[in-house]
Structure 1
Amino acid sequence: MRSTRTRWLYAGGSAVACTAVIAAGTMAANAAMADRPGAPAIGAGSAAPVPSASGAPQRPDPNPPKPTPLGAIIDGGIAAREGTWVFYGVPVAEKALPKVHFGVMAGRRLPSGAVTADVMTNEVTGSDRAPGFHAVEGTMATEAGATPAFGYYVGPADRITARANGRTVTAHQARWSEDASVVVFWFDPATKGVGGLAAYDRGGRKLPTGNAGVGVG
């Protein structure tokens, strides 16, 4: 199965929306991953051309509409290069994904109070409300600094853990205001190589795993 998604790329502080085609699995929007091997460099104040259907490059809209947050914005309590990391739901409407209606955006609340849209991730296989983990995105380097690894869990998760560098780490988490069954979780950006995700209820019982694969970019 293949499906489309909208990526949010950032160059010199300008958001550029473009369409990409990817194989099914966790999908995420990434912000100018300049240190990724083979990644094209994007100069400040400019945006990479997007190929048209005919193959000719076209300059994307430098000021696309930013997604409207669904529900309350969650304060991640983690400092970014500028501002602090936040998380919020955003709508998804893709014909190829009939059972996916929302994703989770990692952004920053700037000193001015404005909220950015930096990295988006959403489910691309089955229902976005199936029990278990969904749309887990690993940390990566962006213009905003190292992003937190994050995703969401559907179910009564009271504690979410992962394995990273040979040790068990516990995620920060908060319930989404639009649907209390959805738990948004994230890790400190310094936590690298997140994997082996597990969720536990209030009684310490392990919950269904779902789609616990971790994507990057």
Structure 2
Amino acid sequence: MKSTRNRWLYAGGSAVACAAVIAAGTVAANAGMTARTGGPAVGAGAAPSASAAPVPSTSGAPGRPDPNPPKPEPIGQVIDSGIAAREGTWVFYGVPVAEKALPTVHFGVMAGRRLPGGTLTADVMTNEVTGSDRAPGFHAVQAGMGIEAGQSPTFGYYAGPATRITARANGRTVTAHQARWSEDRSVVVFWFDPATRGISRLAAYDRGGRKLPTGNAGVGVG
């Protein structure tokens, strides 16, 4: 069964609510909204930090924009990708999900940017929509797309002891960048360079080189 939630498109400072069909394991939001971080961006060696309280999504009347759209609060520490965007640097961070239709999904991953002044943006969000958000395997893989901020990276997360994540792209094997999520060290956020297109056939391996469960490895688009 398909379910829906709101996605927020911010253009010229105005918020417009649209129904986004949740399918193929992801829901994406192209947003220009900003949020302040709770700490500096970190990589795989970050120590755990306190989580933010979940912020339930809201919507205005049918056909009308919500005048006070929800602003995502980062859960845990922000992961710096080291990849330059049109303005700022691409980062990833956990955000709360509170949807009655998704009782076993409590978080998603946001791709945003840290701007030169330190502001954190929210550009593309993705979350699991089938089963538990921490079931072993891949979750919420979102293909890169062209947005106002430039070409976003393909990204997602893996639940489990993955130390190496690969995919096929244009007939070759490519290796993802990855970092452990500070809020839950069993969750690995991964991403590919924005120039790498056509990601498919994701695979994860443990420290000993053994292949791990695949999970939901479909790559969502848009």
Superposition TM-score, scaled by structure 2 size: 0.82
Which residue in 2 is equivalent to 1:102?
Answer: 107
Q: SS state of the match for residue 121, structure 2?
A: coil
Distance 1:125 1:171, change over 3 A: same
Call closer, same or farther: CA 1:156–1:141 in 2, change over 3 Å.
Answer: same
The answer for the alignment partner of 2:221 in structure 1 is 216
* SS of the residue 1:28 aligns to: coil
Asked if the contact 1:163–1:194 (Cα under 8 Å) also holds between the matched residues in 2, the reply is yes
CA distance in 1, matches of 2:11, 2:171: 35
The answer to whether structure 1 residue 196 and structure 2 residue 201 are counterparts is yes
Choose the corresponding residue for 1:156, options 141, 161, 169.
161
Match of 1:115 in 2: 120
> Residues 17 and 98 of structure 1: is their aligned pair in 2 closer, same or farther, counting only changes over 3 Å?
farther
1:47 equivalent in structure 2: none
| Residue 15 of structure 1, CA deviation | 6.7
Q: Which residue of 2 aligns with 1:43?
A: none
Structure 1 residues 117 and 23, CA gap change in structure 2 (3 angstroms): closer
What residue number does 1:27 align with?
Answer: 26
Give the one of 169, 183, 186 matched to 2:191. 186
Task: Assess if the C-alpha contact under 8 Å between 1:87 and 1:107 holds in 2.
Answer: yes
- Opposite residue 29 of structure 1, the aligned amino acid is A
Secondary structure in structure 2 of the residue aligned to 1:10: strand
Residue type at the aligned position of 1:94: E
- Runs of 4+ in structure 1 off by over 3 angstroms are 50-53
User: Given that residues 132 and 154 in structure 1 are in contact (C-alpha distance below 8 angstroms), is that contact kept between their aligned partners in structure 2?
Assistant: yes
Alignment of structure 1 residues 22-101 onto 2, 5 Å: 22-31=21-30, 52-53=61-62, 57-61=63-67, 64-101=69-106
Question: Distance in 2 between the 1:162 and 1:117 partners?
Answer: 26
Tell me the C-alpha RMSD between the 2 structures. Answer: 1.9
TM-score normalised by the chain length of structure 1: 0.84
Residues 17 and 64, structure 2, Cα contact 8 Å, conserved in 1: no
- Give unpaired runs (5+ residues) of structure 1: 33-49
Cα 1:17–1:165, aligned 2, differ >3 Å: closer, same or farther? same
Secondary structure of the structure 2 residue equivalent to 1:8 = strand
Deviations 1:103-131 (A, max 9, x none): 00000000010000000000000000000
Q: For this pair of structures, how many residues does the alignment match? A: 195
Aligned pair 1:16/2:21, yes or no? Answer: no
Residue 176 (structure 1) aligns with: 181
Distance 2:14 2:158 in 1: 28
C-alpha change, 1:22 and 1:65, in structure 2 (3 Å) is closer
1:140–1:147 Cα contact (<8 Å) kept: yes
Q: 1:76 to 1:101 in 2, by over 3 A?
A: same
Distance across 1 between alignment mates of 2:23 and 2:217: 14
* CA distance 1:17–1:65, shift in 2 (3 Å): farther
CA contact 1:6–1:29 (8 Å) conserved in 2 = no
Equivalent-residue separation in structure 2 for 1:179 and 1:173 (angstroms)? 14
Partner of 2:46: none
* Cα distance per residue 1:37-82 (max 9 Å; x no partner): xxxxxxxxxxxxx9953xxx42443x63311000000001100000
Q: Distance in 2 between matches of 1:176 and 1:6?
A: 25
Alignment partners' CA distance in 1, 2:104 and 2:70: 24
